[in-house]
Homo-oligomer: A and B are copies of this chain.
């Protein structure tokens, strides 16, 4: 991993122990697929970062400065994963934000995760997502629910896990959004109460390839096919969920082909690792 740390537009050597991201998860982040020295989905990642920061009242560093720093970091990098983390900066003790603090932020470049052959093995997570509209949809740094849920997946020997909210509605995977096929129509759960509005999910919605629909566990298990999507892996078929199994479905292949046509970087077959991307 290569990493750079900034406070406002000044590069610095380390994260201060008074950083509010460290103290309270007081920040937002994006995890992005790098291709040919750039980030093809950057406008969508930037828009979500800005929306999250706006909702939390976190100042965003100068966008031109971020973009120049990203370009410098990605020079010569053909493929990888870039993580951008923006925290509210350093603070005194206490929850009240320091009005004058500059955002502290990091860029980290990682290798592409390893490929996975065949469909994903999914686990029904016991850990539920709390209903919190004030934080839903954005990619903030309060992620203990995902950490606990992903730990379950590892313990079960699964690739990923599906999470339900505390009312029982299915919401998403720990690091990806869920796509459910019923009678030729793809749907994905809403994320107005909890969950992350993934960049890849939003692209699929904007293209009219998927539609919003609230769903129960039983409806997911009754699907003709399942897939997960995120901005690093693209679209991945699901092979099983607990005891329920699915054979490869041509509708998944068609969805992937449409994505590859728009973003050729997703032509490589890739699986899911222990990523937090959506």
Contacts and interface: CB of A to CB of B under 8 A. Distances in A.
A275 B94 contact: yes
Contact of A143 (B24, B83, B154, B175): B24
A83 B23 CA distance: 10
Contacts of A148: 56-57, 134
Contact of A151 (B96, B151, B273): B96
A169 to B, nearest CB: 14
Interface residues of A, number: 65
Interface stretch (A9-17, A62-70, A221-229, A240-248): A9-17
Given A5-B17, A127-B134, A273 B94 contact: yes
B93 A31 contact: yes
A101 to B, nearest CB: 13
A230 to B, nearest CB: 12
B93 A81 contact: yes
Nearest to A166: B131
Contact of A132 (B24, B145, B154): B145
B83 A93 contact: yes
Contact of A142 (B25, B110, B127): B25
